[in-house]
A and B are shown apart, each in its own frame.
Chain A
Amino acid sequence: MSILGTRVLRREDPKFLTVGGTYTDDLVIDGAAHVTYVHSPYAHARITGVDLEAARQAPGVLAVISGADVELAVIDPPMVGMLPAAMGRRALALDVVRFVGEAVAAIVTEERYQGPDAAELVVIDYDPLPVVVDPEESLAGSTLLFPDLGSNVSFDMRSPATDGFFDGCEVVVRQRMVNQRVAPCPLETRSAAARWGSDGRLTFWSSNQHAHGVKARLVGIYGLPEEQVHVINPDVGGGFGAKIGATPEEMLLPWLATRVGRPVRWVETRSESMTGLGHGRGQVQVAEIGGSRDGTVEAYRMTVIQDSGAYADMGAILPFMTKAMLPGVYRFPRQECATVSVVTNTTPMTAYRGAGRPEAAAAVERMMDLFADEIDVDPAEVRRRNFIPADAFPFATPSGSTYDTGEYEKALELALATAGYADLRAEQAARRASGDRIQLGIGVSTYVEVTGGAGFKEFAGVEVLADGRAVVRTGTSPHGQGHVTAWSMLVSAQTGIPMERIDVVHSDTDLVPRGEGTMGSRSLQQGGAAVHVATLEVVDRARQLAANLLEASPDDVVVDTVNGRLHVAGSPTSAKTWAELAEAAAADGGLGAEVDLPAQGTTYPFGAHVAVVEVDTETGKVTVRRLIAVDDAGRILNPLLVDGQVHGGLAQGIAQALLEEVRYDTDGNPLTANLADYTFVSAAELPSFERVAMETPTPLNVLGAKGIGESGTIGSTPAVQNAVVDAVSHLGIRHIDMPTTPERVWRAIANATGKERA
């Protein structure tokens, strides 16, 4: 039996469990000096004076520089051409700071503790400017972050609303929703190091999801030939989308290394990371849904204001994905979406697990519940009446997506059956009838998302060495997903070479020629597929070699995947080992294959989640009792890894629904700038999850696989939010914005029941 599809324990684990990983700050880099950044305490201010002299005299200080010292070009927004270049960010602020936490000066010291000491002595004078934190206020435009541009708009996909859009609808429901700003919080903060070799070659280490992307940025910023830059991402302590780009604090390190004539290294504190790494989500949505009283939705419309933070970066274009996934799993005859992104005096926004898709799912799933509530039909039933049917795939949505495969109703029925939906509704009715202080809420969400990203190719190289070991080179950049295990399963399954004799090389631009990194739930369907295809090429080549050695036809040679040998069918005794074949190929370029596999298209994982919550109507506290998750990501390679991906996603989705929110006061001061203030979800707030397997393969890659990295987050957030509202809907409550904190829920109850004491 093939190991594909079976639960295989991770090869990565032993090191992490015994001596720990080797993260960027763990590296031994001889002679490296330490970099400390000084940050703006103002959300918006003009820099009127800089005095670095005292800091320069502090013990151990090698250099102190401010924005005026760095002739380094403006660091352009990464999405060249899509975002206004004038909204790009300098490595260090020059004359204006636009968010609390923006780097204004850099200090290089001999030892780690000397940097923060010297930072105390940096004197920067600020002249505060008016601050805009709220994206709706920013759009109104009375306070401009880039006055020369005359507008705060960073990315514009607005279109006029169609007249008569809801004509003929018996019911139209409208709701304003805030999909709040959250912090990605990988456990490892940003960290990087730079060293120039005597040959002028740059070696750059960083905690990132895409080594070749970092290399491209360094090549561009420093104007270096490609071969002069070597990027290594060692073990990476989580990314969640926030470690895709290359940030100013990282990009300045090679410059600082030149300045002090030594390697330099930097690791940010968590408090720095909470304002520096970037935040996710951050949309103000106004959605309208119209249909008939029988439960058929006829029209769905949404306008989105996306907060892009102080500079135009990845976060500004998130609405792209929101718009693409607007209708979710439903066949809406009419839909439209207008979005606009604006800059505010806050931390720049970035990708965070789901990146634009959770926002679409949260909106449409909330609106389906509101519609169901309005026509007094069970929310699960309203979904059934509007699903894209299983026989309609591939299905082109009006928003321009083509969904590959899906069985949405089956996923929902599976989730409902596992949850015991009817019993839960009965229990809810009983608690309502008895006026129980603890009310039960049942939330349903059915979702589809887009993974893989179109237009990518992914590199894979597979080579069998003379000792019979195999080496896999991949352009993906794992940071917890388990690619070493997964990719060696793929090679082992076709060759019979034992997994422990397969090395997987990644995240090093000298060892892997090209790569698109790990993001957008693309790795297995693109990177894994490339490994699989390269392996098949190696196997083909090996069969020819074996045929020559065994004086047979290649068509008659078979691979014994149990013993890792090739032989003529029916004659297993005269077999050739992989080592022998590699040796035979040595004179002729070795036994390997490289592919750059183009993606055939994006894939659309889907699923259904049911959340069961209890709400204490006296305190507003929500407890998640159960989370039932059906997540269909096509064919599964290793269910162990899929479980892990889903679990993590579920926790992050529940966290957004219940707890987590990055907050600012009206002056732009961050109120959640460390892990004591930010309510990072812990084990105590979560239940164990109930996963239900479902596999609907995609025809768009050889493995039949879709992405699974982000699904958990996308499905769980609206399920939990819907459950919270459902628990108190009998009190007349229609909507509670996320996070559904005790205070928010308590206020909603107090308002609805007239109990609030002003």
Chain B
Amino acid sequence: MNVSITVNGVRHEDEVEPRLLLVHYLRDVLRLTGTNIGCDTSSCGACTILLDGQSVKSCTVLTAQADGTELTTIEGLAATDGTLHPVQQAFHTEHGLQCGYCTPGMVMAITSLLRENPHPTEHQVRHGLEGNLCRCTGYHNIVKAALTAAEAGAGAFR
């Protein structure tokens, strides 16, 4: 089937298998490999992207369902001049990443979380990230990065 999807501001028209998962469309068809796959039960959140501004796990969305939508992946989060989004910047300054595998999903999930709740408590951040798993950081610095990004106004940032 034919889909028309705008990814990071660029419109793509592609003929895809009806069963093609959105994450595989991004990775294999568009070669946007920043979005990772960490599980097969929608548990880990490594594949989190923004679909029409809302965070979704792209392993649990069919490409067909994304027809006509606008997606943002990690590759599209920084400004065109390369300036990092406050969430990306906070991950760097707070050492919120180690192996980097969960990072794109974490960054997208926190970006979405802060849009919904620009000034969350630590408790709200921890519960908001329940669907994003990380094995390296113990979450300590990821939570810190989210709170730092909130303070930097990430919630209002587009």
* Partner-B contacts on A (CB < 8 A): 9-10, 12-23, 25-26, 28, 112-113, 184-189, 235-238, 240, 269-271, 479-482, 640-641, 643-644, 647-652, 674-676, 680, 682-684, 686, 688-689, 712
Contact = CB atoms under 8 A, between A and B. Distances in A.
Interface of B: 17, 19-20, 24, 27-28, 31, 33-44, 46, 74-75, 77-78, 84, 88, 91-93, 95, 97-104, 107, 122, 125-127, 129-144
A269 B27 CA distance: 15
B126 A481 contact: no
A682 B130 contact: yes
A23 B36 contact: yes
Given A188-B101, A240-B135, A270 B95 contact: no
B75 to A, nearest CB: 5
A461 to B, nearest CB: 25
28 contacts: A16-B97, A17-B97, A18-B77, A20-B74, A21-B100, A186-B99, A186-B101, A187-B38, A187-B102, A187-B136, A235-B100, A269-B40, A270-B39, A270-B41, A271-B40, A480-B98, A641-B95, A643-B140, A644-B95, A648-B98, A675-B44, A675-B133, A676-B43, A680-B43, A682-B129, A682-B133, A682-B139, A683-B125
B91 A185 contact: no
A247 to B, nearest CB: 19
Contacts of B95: 9-10, 640-641, 643-644
B6 to A, nearest CB: 19
Given A643-B141, A647-B137, 4 more contacts: A18-B77, A647-B139, A680-B43, A682-B130
Contacts of B99: 21, 186-188, 235-238, 479-480
Contacts of A684: 126-127, 129-130
Nearest to A238: B99
B84 A18 contact: yes
Contacts of B132: 682-683
A17 B107 contact: yes
Given A10-B92, A675-B43, A237 B140 contact: no
A10 B37 CA distance: 24
B75 A686 contact: no
B43 to A, nearest CB: 4
B43 A480 contact: no
Nearest to B31: A28
B96 to A, nearest CB: 9
Nearest to A17: B88
A185 B135 contact: yes
A173 to B, nearest CB: 33
B101 A237 contact: yes
B130 to A, nearest CB: 4
A254 to B, nearest CB: 24
B127 to A, nearest CB: 5
Contact of A238 (B74, B92, B104, B136): B136
- A9, A18, A482 — which one has the most chain B CB atoms within 10 A of its CB? A18
A688 B122 contact: yes
Contact of B129 (A13, A235, A683): A683
B141 to A, nearest CB: 6
A379 B93 CA distance: 39
Nearest to B21: A113
Given A10-B95, A480-B98, A686 B36 contact: no
A641 to B, nearest CB: 8
A668 to B, nearest CB: 22
Top 9 closest pairs, chain A to chain B, by CB: A20-B34, A237-B101, A651-B138, A480-B99, A16-B100, A480-B98, A647-B138, A675-B43, A270-B39
Contacts of A651: 137-140
Of listed B74, B125, B127, B134, residue having the most chain A CB within 10 A = B134
B36 A188 contact: yes
Contacts, number: 189
A235 B97 CA distance: 13
Given A479-B99, A682-B130, A686-B126, A113 B84 contact: no
Contact of B138 (A9, A237, A641, A648): A648
A436 to B, nearest CB: 22
B150 to A, nearest CB: 15
Contact of A16 (B17, B44, B103, B134): B103
Contacts of B122: 688
A20 B137 contact: no
B15 to A, nearest CB: 14
Contacts of A683: 125-127, 129-130, 132, 134, 139, 142-143
A589 to B, nearest CB: 37
Contacts of B40: 269-271, 674
A647 B141 contact: yes
Given A112-B24, A270-B38, A688-B140, A20 B19 contact: no
B137 A644 contact: yes
A243 to B, nearest CB: 11
Nearest to B100: A16
A650 B138 CA distance: 7
Nearest to A688: B140
Interface centre among A185, A270, A479, A641 (most CB of B within 10 A): A270
Given A683-B142, A688-B140, A21 B101 contact: yes
A171 B78 CA distance: 65
B89 to A, nearest CB: 8
Nearest to A21: B100
Contact of A20 (B39, B100, B138): B100
Given A18-B84, A188-B38, A643-B141, A26 B33 contact: yes
A478 to B, nearest CB: 9
Given A112-B24, A187-B135, A240-B135, A23 B141 contact: no
Contacts of B74: 17-20
B88 to A, nearest CB: 4
A643 B139 CA distance: 12
A269 to B, nearest CB: 5
A230 B42 CA distance: 36
B98 A482 contact: yes
B92 A481 contact: no
In this complex, the member of B28, B135, B142 whose beta carbon has the largest number of chain A beta carbons within 10 angstroms is: B135
Nearest to B88: A17
Nearest to B82: A18
A237 B44 contact: no
A19 to B, nearest CB: 5
Nearest to A674: B41
A477 to B, nearest CB: 12
Contacts of A16: 97, 100, 103-104
A9 B92 contact: yes
Nearest to A640: B95
Given A18-B74, A682-B130, A647 B140 contact: yes
A269 B144 CA distance: 31
Contacts of B142: 683
A596 to B, nearest CB: 28
A482 B100 CA distance: 11
A322 B142 CA distance: 33
B39 A674 contact: yes
A271 B93 CA distance: 34
A688 B43 contact: no
A240 to B, nearest CB: 7
A647 B94 CA distance: 13
B90 to A, nearest CB: 10
Contact of B136 (A113, A480, A680, A689): A480
Contacts of A271: 40-41
Contact of B98 (A18, A644, A652): A644
Contact of B100 (A25, A237, A647): A237
B92 A680 contact: no
Contacts of B35: 20
Nearest to A479: B99
B141 A644 contact: yes
A187 B101 contact: yes
Contacts of A481: 98
Nearest to B98: A480
A560 B4 CA distance: 59
